[in-house]
Amino acid sequence: MTQVINSLYRQLPSIDKLLRQPEITLLIASHGQTQVVDILREMQEQARFNIREHQALPEWSDDWAESLHRRLDWGKTSALKPVFNLSGTVLHTNLGRALLAETAIDAVTQAMRSSVTLEYSLDGASRGHRDRALADLLCTLTGAEDACIVNNNAAAVLLVLATVAQGKEVIVSRGELVEIGGAFRIPDVMVQAGCRLVEVGTTNRTHLKDYQRAINPDTGMLMKVHTSNYSIEGFTAEVSGGELAKLGMVSQIPTAIDLDSGSMIDMTQYGLPTEPMPQDYLNHGIDLVTFSGDKLLGGPQAGIIVGKKRWIEAIQQHPLKRALRADKMTLAALEATLRLYQHPEQLRQKLPTLRLLTRPQGEIRDMAQQLLLQMQAYYSEKLIVRDEPCYSQIGSGSLPVDRLPSWALTFTAVDGRGSTLEKLAHQWRNLEKPVIGRLYDGRLWLDLRCLEDGSELLRALLL
């Protein structure tokens, strides 16, 4: 056995010998010698392990150059690969949420290619504030006195709590102590912000008197949290933003509302369910409102805080603000997105999120039927392919109960085995541009709501 192993070890080429191969010399020219040598050493170690464990050379050892080429190509693959989102969730957190408008993409590209007036005032050739231009725009759109931008909505909530109520009590309805993705919990955020949570009411019913009874000299804030990722139905009651604002004014205690998804427009005008808007709460007198940039707003990941000037100024001065601030690319994309809201008559056409959410079911059905025959012909031996009605969801915690009528292509295994569909789903996830569907009720569903170019999907699946 030892002789066999030693013989196999002697068959392994040295690094110097490999580097002299013409094919590998070409790879060095395109990938660099350091990377090539590092991977060759890894391959040698893998080969030695295979010899020790299996008394054989690995299969790829017949052509080191080809195996090296594949590994180098794999190493160049971006971790953020474009995919077909056919999951049925428009704002899919794991797939990057909102698609950016073309104007936002152009703005980001310009900010990347050139120095910009991020914190530079052209009027006085001195330092400016990176939030100023967007703050003015947000004030125009929402009626707020001032605004602040940070890197996501969780950061916005943290910063508001740390600035306004650190070391004090924050009163929140027990039915609004939400947990969102990644185990982000409002109570935990309060602890990190140095606040003490005071729960009032019950899971399903909270009244204004519950807030009133909990107020004491240590109360630092009255807070509402929009339950964007779940719904309590039946025998329920909650305190409105207007009621909370009046109580805050009478008690001289600041008020805040976390909207999370935060639509800037009346969604019902597009046939979508009602979603609370920041401007409504500001009009009621709420001091601070926080919401996300990459959900219903349709922009980049960002946390937006709008409200009373005195509190926004205090937030801007808080030490955490610098740690949580948004970068120039985020600000560029967010500004371009917000400017689309100045032309509401064109918003549905130019904002991808709104365009996808409002696609008529008939239009999606027509696309499914156009794709169906080719899919059936290609997969007929192993799969039964149909077009069927389905329901999409908005996603990212937005309007969790409401569904959007949509249309899908469904794939059922001829052999009736779930493993056949799981293998197919895995195969599609490993395409050059992965196809993300969902397995449900013994079928693999491709919801076409987020597909605007059917020919691209055909090229991916039928080649």
Residue 282 phi/psi, 5° resolution? -65, -40
Same domain, 71 and 47: yes
Same domain, 296 and 324: yes
- Amino acid letter, residue 425: A
* pLDDT top residue among 327 and 188: 327
pLDDT value at residue 262: 79
Rounded to whole angstroms, what are the CA distances from 221 to 16, 201, 247, 283, 299? 69, 16, 11, 19, 29
In which residue are the tokens 């039915």 written? 175
How many contiguous H segments (helices) and E segments (strands) does the chain have?
20, 17
User: Degrees (nearest 5) of the Cα angle 327, 316, 177?
Assistant: 90
Same domain, 276 and 244: yes
Going by their DSSP bridges, the two strands 255-260 and 219-225 should be labelled as parallel
Q: Is the pLDDT of residue 278 over 70?
A: yes
pLDDT value at residue 182: 55
**CATH at 173:** 3.40.640.10
Per DSSP, the three-state class of 85 is strand
Same domain, 183 and 327: yes
Q: Is the pLDDT of residue 399 over 70?
A: no
Residue 336, Cβ density class (10 Å: 0-12 exposed, 13-18 middle, ≥19 buried): buried
Same domain, 220 and 117: yes
| Cβ–Cβ under 8 Å, residues 189 and 158 | yes
N-to-C CA span, the chain: 47
pLDDT value at residue 418: 80
Instruction: Work out how many domains the chain is built from and give that number.
Output: 3
440 contact partners, CB below 8 Å, separation of at least 6: none
Give tens-digit pLDDT for 22-44.
999 999 998 999 999 999 999 99
Q: Is the pLDDT of residue 401 over 70?
A: no
CA gap 457, 435 in Å, rounded: 8
> How many residues does this entry show for the chain?
463
Tell me what the mean pLDDT of segment 393-421 comes to. Answer: 84
Rounded to whole angstroms, what are the CA distances from 219 to 165, 203, 204, 253, 310? 8, 22, 23, 7, 19
Same domain, 26 and 116: no
pLDDT value at residue 395: 84
DSSP H or E segment with residue 63: none
* pLDDT top residue among 185 and 130: 130
pLDDT value at residue 73: 82
| Cβ–Cβ under 8 Å, residues 422 and 439 | yes
Tell me what the mean pLDDT of segment 387-410 comes to. Answer: 85
Torsion of CA 27, 32, 37, 38, to 10 degrees: -120
| Cβ–Cβ under 8 Å, residues 116 and 328 | yes
Tokens of 145: 């006195």
Which of 97-101, 182-186, 202-206, 369-373 is predicted least confidently?
182-186
CA gap 395, 415 in Å, rounded: 33
Same domain, 134 and 211: yes
Domain span at residue 406 reads 84-93+356-462
CA gap 430, 369 in Å, rounded: 26
pLDDT value at residue 358: 95
| Cβ–Cβ under 8 Å, residues 300 and 333 | yes
Tell me what the mean pLDDT of segment 436-451 comes to. Answer: 96
pLDDT value at residue 8: 87
Longest alpha-carbon distance in the chain = 91
Tokens of 334: 């967010």
Q: Is the pLDDT of residue 191 over 90?
A: no
Same domain, 271 and 416: no
| Cβ–Cβ under 8 Å, residues 215 and 248 | no
- Look at residues 316, 333, 350 and tell me which one is the last residue of a structural domain: 350
Same domain, 50 and 153: no
Among positive and negative, which fits the CA dihedral 238, 242, 246, 252?
positive
- Amino acid letter, residue 111: A
Tell me what the mean pLDDT of segment 158-167 comes to. Answer: 96
Closest CA to 142 of 290, 315, 270: 290
102: pLDDT confidence band, cut at 50, 70 and 90?
very high
pLDDT value at residue 62: 87
Q: Which range scores top for mean pLDDT: 23-37, 135-149, 163-177, 407-421?
A: 135-149
Same domain, 255 and 135: yes
DSSP-derived letter for residue 272 is P
* Long-range pairs of 114-123 with CB within 8 A, sequence gap ≥ 24: 116/328, 116/332, 118/328, 118/331
Give the percent of the chain with pLDDT over 90: 71
Secondary structure string (H, E, C) spanning 30-54: HHCHHHHHHHHHHHHHHHHHHHHHH
Per DSSP, the three-state class of 305 is strand
pLDDT value at residue 393: 92
- Look at residues 319, 350, 381 and tell me which one is the last residue of a structural domain: 350
Same domain, 145 and 287: yes
133: pLDDT confidence band, cut at 50, 70 and 90?
confident
Give tens-digit pLDDT for 291-343.
999 999 999 999 999 999 999 999 999 999 999 999 999 999 999 999 999 99
* Long-range pairs of 29-36 with CB within 8 A, sequence gap ≥ 24: 31/72, 35/72, 35/75, 36/68, 36/72
Tell me what the mean pLDDT of segment 394-407 comes to. Answer: 77
CA gap 403, 388 in Å, rounded: 16
Mean pLDDT for all residues in the chain:
91
228: pLDDT confidence band, cut at 50, 70 and 90?
low
CA gap 183, 167 in Å, rounded: 24
CA gap 412, 410 in Å, rounded: 7
The separation between CA 208 and the C-alpha centre of its own chain, rounded to angstroms, equals: 35
Tell me what the mean pLDDT of segment 198-227 comes to. Answer: 91
Same domain, 360 and 346: no
117: pLDDT confidence band, cut at 50, 70 and 90?
confident
- Look at residues 313, 334, 350 and tell me which one is the last residue of a structural domain: 350
Q: Where are the alpha helices (DSSP H) in 101-152?
A: 102-113, 132-142
